Amino acid sequence: MERYNSRTIDELGRLGLHSELRQRLDLKPGGMVSLKIIDEMVILQHEENFAEFDGVICEINDLGMITVPTQIRDVLGWKEKDKISFHHTNDVIILNSAG
């Protein structure tokens, strides 16, 4: 599992995805990803795998960011300016609190 630098949630609940991660999973602006809470982390998966994965669907914006839905942020206690760490394994990105 590879670890990447953490990113900060902005005031709109957006989180920038590392360009290398976007390239590895072929995540492009306008593309869709699924987010699902498992334990204390969020699993992000590419739209090609939605049949095997039920979660909240999010769009990648032109800046390579996703908006983490309020219901996910509330459950995990993630707030504006919180740092979120990224880990990559196989075909998923794992997000969890870096604090």
| Per-residue model confidence as pLDDT tens digits over 42-81 | 999 887 655 566 688 999 999 999 999 999 999 999 999 9
Burial of 69 (0-12, 13-18, 19+ CB in 10 A): middle
Question: 27 is in which domain, residue-wise?
Answer: 2-97
CA distances from 99 to 7, 8, 58, 91 (A): 11, 11, 24, 25
What is the pTM (predicted TM-score) of this model?
0.86
Q: What's the total number of domains in the chain? A: 1
| CATH number of the domain encompassing residue 72 | 3.40.1550.20
